[in-house]
Amino acid sequence: MVPENARLGKYALALFLSVATSAGADVRHRLPALSSVFPQGSRPGATVKAEILGEYLDRPQAVVFPDGFASAKILGGTYTRLALEIAVNADAALGPHYFRVVTPRGASNLLLFRVGDQPHVDEREPNSSAENAQEITLPATVNGRLNVDGDFDFFKFHAKKGESWIFDVRSARNGNGLDPALILLDARGRKLAHSEDVFIWDPFLIHTFPADGEYFAVLQPTHNRNDATFAYQFDIRKAPQLETVSPIAMRPGETVDATLYGVGLSDSSSRLWFSAAGFSGEVREMRGSTAAVRIQVPANAPDGRYELALAGADGRSSTAAFLVDSTPRHKGGNRLEMPVSITGIARYREPERYAFDAKEGEALVFEVRAQRFGSPVDSLVRILDGVGKEIARNDDGDFPGAQFNKDSRISYKFKQAGTYQVEIRNLFKTTGENFPYQLLAGPPRPDVDLMLATDNPYVYQGGDRAKLKVTCTRRDGFDGPVTIQLSGLPEGVTADSLTIPEGENEGEFTLFAKGAIPGSFGQIRVSSVPALSGAAPVRTAWRSQRISSGGGEGAASARVERATVAVAEKPHFSLEALVTAVNLVRGGAAEFVVAIRRADGFRESIRFSIENLPPDVTLNEAVAGPDAAEVKLRLTAGAGARIGRAGRLAILGAVTGGETQEAPRVSLSID
C-alpha cells in the first residue's frame, strides 16, 4: 500500500498538465465523456452487462481499469451510449473502483463501479406504485434508475418483528447527479420513516420493525425533471455503517484501545479488517452506535492513511479511515514540547488550549487532520500571545487535492520569544464524542506532494508535439530543484526529461507521437526525486479527480495516481449548437443554428444528422457548404409526437472522407 498522506505539511509540488493542440485556433477537441453507468456495481466474480451514457463515445477501443479489478468486452454503441460486459475478478476488493474508455478521440473521464458483498438485484419496471412494487429478498443491493419524468421506484419486502435494517441509498457517493428521497411504508401505505440528504444528497436510515409483515421502500426524485443518467444503488442490509475512529491517529508499534462510531454496531462476532497487511485487532464490545476495539499497529507501518472495517455474519461494513503517524505523542497536560502529535475530541463550546514556547524568528506549523480522514470536525485553529491576543487563525487550510476542505493549517514565524497558546475548536456541532482530530505541531518538515492537473492528457498522431506543463507550488520554504520523471508512455510516444530549477515554479514536458496509432494509450506515472539533503522519498504524482455528478459537495472523487495518456486524431472541424434547449409543439417546427469551427485549410461540405430524436420528430436535410461557418437545422414534430422531453440529442456532422464530429448535447421539449 502507498499511504495517501505520508509526511504531510512540508512542501507541495503541484503538477498541472495541459495539452496544446496545433489545430485551428477555434477548433475544439472533444474527448469521450462518460456520464453514468448502469448497473453501478456487482459482486466479486460476477459478469454483468452494463450501459454507459455519455457523449463522443464513437469507435470505442478499450475499457481501462486502473487497478485491474475487472475486465470488459465492448458489445456495441453509438455516439451517446455504450454496451459493455464487465467481468469482476473473484478477488476484487470490496468498495469503489474506477474505469474509463479510450477511443481515437482520447481517454475519457473516470466513472465509479462499486463492488459489494450482498446479493445484487436490478430494478425492473413497471414498479411505480405499491400495486406493482418489485418484490425483493433481504439483504439486497438494488441497482436502480429514476431516469424518466414521473418515475418512482417501489420495493416490497418482508421483515420480522424486532429486526433492525439499514436503508442506504448511494447516488452522490457513486458519482451520480440524482438527488433522491427515501420513504418507508407499512402494508397499508402509512409512512414509517423518511430520509433525505444524510450523506450530502444520499438518504440513509436505520429502522426497527414493530411487527412481522410486508413493507415498502419507496425511492422518489426530488428534481423537477429527471435525467436519463440518474441511477443509484440501494442497500437494505444489517452490515453496519462506520463513520470514524477515535483516536484518529496511532503510532507505529503500539497497541491502542479505540472507539468506532457508526450505526448498526451489534454483531458481537464481528472481526476487524484492515486495508494493509500487518495490522491486527479485536472487537471487545458492540454498543449499537459505538464499538470498543483494540488495534495493534505494526512497528514497520509507514506514516499515512489506512482503513478498517468490521466483518461479520451479515457482511462487511463500510470502511473508516485512520492515520499512522510517528510524531512524538503529547504526554498530557496543557504544555507542548515540539514536535508533537495531539489526539482528542473537538468541541465547540469547550475549545482546547495548549501552551508552548517559541524563539524569536522560529517558524512553526500547526495542522489539523480530521475532515480529510472521515471525521465530521470543522476545525478552527488560533494562535494566542502571552496576554491572550489572537495573532493568527485559520478555518479551512489549503491542502493539495482536498475538495471542500474543513481542516485548519497555520504556518507562523514568531517575531518575539515567549510563551504562546494554540487553540482548537469545532465549528460543526456543540455536543458529541464522535469528533476525533489530530493536531500536529512542530517545525516545518520539507517533503514532496505531486499533484496532477489532468488525468487524461492526449497527444496527436503524426509527429505533432504536446506540451505537458508542470507548475510547482512550494510550501514551507523549500526552494530547491526538483527532477520530474515520466514512465508508462504508449508505444510510439516519447517525452523529454524535466527538471524544475531552483527558485522556479514551472516547466514543461514535450510529448512526441510520431508513428503512434490513434487510440493507443498508456498508464503513465509521474514522480519526482527531490534535491534535498538526506534520504528524501520519491513521490508519485496524483490527482483528486471528481467523478461525473451533479456537482457540489455531493460529488464523489477518486485518487488517481496513474493518468491515462492517449494518442488522438486531430479534428478538422468542431460543432457548437447556439442553443441548449429546443421547444416544439405537435405539428409544428423549430429552427436553431449550429456554428462550425474549421481548421486552417479545411474546406469540405458537412452533412448533419441527430441521434436520439424521439419518434415522429424529423430533421430537415441539412448540408453546410465548404466555406460555411454555420448551418440552420429545422426540427418538425408530427401530430402524433409524444409530449415530453428528450434530454440527450446528439447533433452530428459528417464529411465525405468519414470524419464525424458531435456538438455538445441539447434537449428537446414537445408540448
Q: What tens digit of pLDDT does each residue of 102-136 get? A: 999 999 999 999 999 999 999 999 999 999 999 99
Is pLDDT at 48 greater than 90 in this prediction? yes
Q: What is the pLDDT of residue 212?
A: 97
> In the numeric block, which cell numbers belong to residue 88?
469482476
Tally DSSP H helices, then E strands, for the chain: 0, 59
Contact between residue 211 and residue 272 where contact means Cβ atoms under 8 Å apart? no
DSSP state of 571: P
Distance of alpha carbon 392 from alpha carbon 408, whole angstroms: 12
* 545, 550, 554, 557: CA torsion to nearest 10: -10
Residue 528: per-residue pLDDT: 84
How would you classify the pairing of strands 111-115 and 95-103?
A: antiparallel
617-619 β-sheet, strand order = 573-577, 589-598, 630-637, 617-619
pLDDT confidence of residue 448: 72
Note the pLDDT tens digit of each residue in 589-615.
999 999 999 999 999 999 999 999 999
Is 552 strand, coil or helix?
A: helix
pLDDT confidence of residue 465: 83
- Integer Rg of the chain from CA: 28
pLDDT(549) > 70: no
Specify whether the CB–CB gap between 382 and 408 falls below 8 A: no
Query: Model confidence at 550, in pLDDT bands (50, 70, 90)?
Result: low
Cβ atoms 565, 524 nearer than 8 A: yes
10 falls in which pLDDT band (50, 70, 90)? Answer: very low
Residue type, 361: G
pLDDT tens for each residue of 210-234: 999 999 999 999 988 899 999 999 9
pLDDT at res. 463: 67
Distance CA(641)–CA(584), nearest Å, equals 10
All cell numbers assigned to 377 = 470536525
Residue 9 has pLDDT above 60, yes or no: no
Q: For residue range 195-212, what is the model confidence (pLDDT) as tens digits?
A: 999 988 899 999 999 999
The one-letter amino acid code at 132 reads: N
Q: How confident is the model at residue 12 (pLDDT cuts 50, 70, 90)?
A: very low
Q: What confidence score (pLDDT) does residue 530 get?
A: 56
Compute CA distances 405 → 176, 229, 435, 577, whole Å. Answer: 21, 28, 16, 37
Say yes or no to pLDDT of 58 above 90: yes
DSSP 239: S
pLDDT of residue 3: 37
Q: What is the mean pLDDT of residues 627-649?
A: 93
**Cβ-count burial of 153 within 10 angstroms (0-12 exposed, 13-18 middle, 19+ buried)?**
buried
Compute the average pLDDT of residues 304-323: 97
Region of poorest pLDDT, from 309-323, 358-372, 555-569: 555-569
Which pLDDT tens digit goes with each residue over 454-506? 899 999 987 678 887 777 777 887 888 888 889 999 999 999 888 888 888 78
Say if residues 108 and 33 touch (Cβ distance below 8 Å). Answer: yes
Q: What is the enclosing helix (H) or strand (E) of 526?
A: strand 521-530
The string of pLDDT tens digits covering residues 503-517 is: 887 878 888 998 889
Mean of the per-residue pLDDT values for the chain? Answer: 91
> For residues 368 and 349, what is the distance between their CA atoms, to the nearest angstrom?
18
Note the pLDDT of residue 461: 86
Percentage of the residues of the chain whose pLDDT score is greater than 70: 94
Per-residue model confidence (pLDDT) at position 497: 86
> Rounded to the nearest 5 degrees, what angle is found at the Cα of 28, between the Cα atoms of 27 and 31?
145
Over the stretch 129-164, which tens digit does the pLDDT of each residue have?
A: 999 999 999 999 999 999 998 899 999 999 999 999
With a pLDDT cut of 90, the percent of the chain lying above it is: 77
Residue 51 has pLDDT above 60, yes or no: yes
Which residue from 168, 158, 229 is spatially nearest to 202, judged by alpha carbons?
168
Phi-psi domain of 612 (left: phi exceeds 0; alpha: psi -120 through 50; beta: other)? left
pLDDT band at residue 307 under the 50/70/90 scheme: very high
Cα separation, 541 vs 164, in Å, equals 44
- The strand pairing partners of 48, in sequence order, are 86
For residue 19, the model assigns a pLDDT of 37
- Domains of the chain, start order: 13-19+455-568 (2.60.40.10), 33-104 (2.60.40.10), 120-237 (2.60.120.380), 241-324 (2.60.40.10), 340-442 (2.60.120.380), 573-670 (2.60.40.10)
Per-residue model confidence as pLDDT tens digits over 356-414: 999 999 999 999 999 999 999 999 999 999 999 999 999 999 888 777 889 999 999 99
- In angstroms, the first-to-last Cα distance of the chain is 56
Whether 8 shows a pLDDT value over 50: the answer reads no
The C-alpha atoms of residue 52 and residue 75 are separated, in whole angstroms, by 11
